[in-house]
């Protein structure tokens, strides 16, 4: 009985799966009464599968077989083709999510330490600034504009095949300058306060000792690193951010190739805003996870 029951149950599952597809194909040719009859048979099959009443399920299968022979016999059904269609829709949904909504991004360098560490993998909101045409830097339409303090992922202007991540410190119309390592926006010193010596993961070999600061852009604070040494004379001449661009810098301020070196970031190059870290891996420990950084929101 057990083998017969398993065989009958599997047949019922296959008939139910196939029947729902056949019903969609034949729906227009069925009367309202026939459609209701088909739905009722599907419910009976689903309920019969959950029970162990072999006699009842056998009776339902007989009724369904008769209905199928009468109303679905002319419908062509190719299981391989149906599977291909399902896979196509799954791929299409994944493509839509990746290119329109969110996309994963891996941090390859230490320019955003301590906000982002080497090995962090983060999710990027691609819809926040507008809908971008896949595989291009053109947008179908724009939504909100990048704001100071946003951590953005963008196509590197000198080589758009590469993706970079930086923090927006200046938007269109802003004047950006640095004097003795201190950032100024529109002639005003960007507030920062010393926190403590930094002892977390860093880009080894560049600087022996770092200091951790809290920097404030538009009343929102974020962590920032400076190498523990004098920055006197380390100036960046004043520049005006043009329309259609932003000025980006790394939070690891002394070890970041950013807009100070290769210029502005065109807003069309921006892929999206960094949301949260979904997979923090530590390359110094054989890519084992950093457990305390899972699903950490980026600010």
Sequence ranges of the domains in the chain? 2-71, 103-297
Contact (CB, 8 A) for 269 and 160: yes
Residue 99 has a pLDDT of: 66
* CATH superfamily membership of 103-297: Umud Fragment, subunit A (2.10.109.10)
Q: pTM of the prediction?
A: 0.72
Look up 166 and say whether it is catalytic.
Answer: yes
Look up 111 and say whether it is catalytic.
Answer: yes
Residue 135 has a pLDDT of: 64
Residue 100 has a pLDDT of: 63
DSSP 100: I
Q: What tens digit of pLDDT does each residue of 44-99 get?
A: 888 888 887 888 888 888 888 888 888 887 766 666 666 777 787 777 776 666 66
Residue 85 has a pLDDT of: 72
173: left (phi over 0), alpha (psi -120 to 50) or beta: left
Residue 210 has a pLDDT of: 93
Catalytic residue among 68, 126, 166, 271: 166
Catalytic residue among 111, 202, 256, 259: 111
DSSP 93: H
Q: What is the C-alpha R_g of the chain? A: 30
Mark the ranges of the chain whose per-residue pLDDT is less than 50: 1
């Amino acid at each position: 009985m057990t083998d017969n029951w398993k065989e009958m149950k599997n047949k019922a599952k296959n008939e139910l799966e196939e029947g729902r597809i056949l019903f969609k194909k034949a729906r227009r040719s069925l009367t309202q009464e026939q459609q209701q009859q088909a739905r009722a048979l599907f419910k009976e099959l689903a309920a019969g599968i959950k029970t162990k009443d072999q006699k009842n399920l056998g009776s339902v299968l007989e009724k369904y077989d008769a209905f199928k022979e009468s109303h679905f016999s002319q419908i062509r059904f190719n299981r391989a083709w149906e599977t291909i269609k399902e896979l196509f829709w799954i791929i299409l949904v994944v493509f839509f999510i990746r290119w329109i909504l969110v996309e994963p991004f891996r941090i390859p360098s230490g320019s955003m330490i301590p906000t982002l560490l080497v090995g962090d993998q983060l999710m990027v909101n691609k819809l926040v600034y507008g809908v971008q045409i896949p595989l291009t830097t053109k947008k179908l339409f724009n939504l909100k504009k990048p704001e100071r303090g946003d951590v953005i992922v963008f196509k590197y202007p000198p080589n758009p095949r590469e993706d970079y991540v930086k923090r927006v410190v200046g938007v269109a119309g802003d004047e950006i300058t640095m004097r003795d390592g201190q950032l100024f926006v529109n002639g005003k010193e960007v507030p920062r306060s010393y926190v403590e010596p930094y002892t977390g993961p860093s880009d080894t070999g560049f600087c022996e000792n770092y200091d951790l600061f809290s920097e404030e852009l538009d009343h929102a604070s974020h962590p920032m690193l400076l190498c523990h040494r004098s920055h006197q004379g380390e100036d960046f001449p004043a520049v005006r951010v043009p329309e259609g661009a932003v000025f980006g810098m790394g939070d690891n301020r002394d070890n970041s190739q950013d807009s100070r070196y290769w210029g502005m970031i065109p807003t069309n190059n921006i892929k999206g805003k960094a949301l949260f870290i979904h997979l923090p891996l530590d390359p110094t420990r054989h890519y084992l996870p950093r457990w305390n950084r899972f699903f950490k929101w980026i600010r």
